Amino acid sequence: MSMDEEDYIEVKIKMNRRACKEFRQNMEPIDDIPRIVPTEFYVDGDLSGDINWNNINANIYLRVHAPKELYSPESAQKYKRKYGCLPFDFQFEAQVSPFTNNCGVKALHHLRAGKNDVNLKKKFLEYVESFLYYCCNCGIIVGSDYIQREYDTGATYRYLRDSGTDYVFTPEVWNPNYTETLNHNIFLFYKYLDATKLPNYWG
């Protein structure tokens, strides 16, 4: 084996993350309130791939746990035994899926904000984008949603619109599944991920 081949294998091993079903990491506090445990970035699903987790199909959460004043260590553990997790104040959610078997593109959907705070919305989205780029080798995020003018809009669209993010939205087209109305429109959105603008929170 040549030295170049050895170097390539060493680099590839370093790039590969072990396949698993969940990932957890403590993040910086979102406020000055003492909480039972630190704010947690939590990924639950299929974390696998041939390079890092580039086949990710998972739910992503940012959990801001309950204030310490509301739970003793014993009552927090009792809550966890009953509900499967420590009590949290609120959480942000997203889902990520493969897109057309292209390992460098991921579909983002079902964005949910547990608190209507623009800065927290932006921060969670930054965490998701950073995780996808540095841990899942994702270069482009894509997604879709709907706008139905007389009623409502999709939750993911509202999240992106209200948080003032720099996603690109395609022109809307009528959804032909809704023959009873001409106002139910669908569209795509996308963003190219840029390492020069994305902090690496994952080491």
3-43 per-position pLDDT tens digit: 455 443 344 444 567 889 999 999 999 999 999 999 999 99
Predicted confidence band at 1 (pLDDT cuts at 50, 70, 90)? very low
- The mean predicted confidence, pLDDT, of the chain is 89
Contact 64, 46 (CB under 8 A): no
More confident residue, 72 or 1: 72
Buried b (16+ CB within 10 A) or exposed e, 39-54: bbbbbebbbbbeebbb
Domain ranges of the chain: 18-197
Asked if residues 92 and 161 have their Cβ atoms less than 8 Å apart, the reply is: no
Q: 113-169: per-residue pLDDT in tens? A: 999 999 999 999 999 999 999 999 999 999 999 998 766 788 999 999 888 889 999
Whole-model pTM: value is 0.88
Q: What is the CATH number of domain 18-197?
A: 3.40.630.30
113-122: list long-range contacts, CB under 8 Å, 24+ apart: 113/159, 114/64, 114/90, 115/64, 115/90, 118/162, 118/163, 118/164, 120/30, 120/92, 121/92, 121/159, 121/162, 121/163, 122/163, 122/164, 122/165
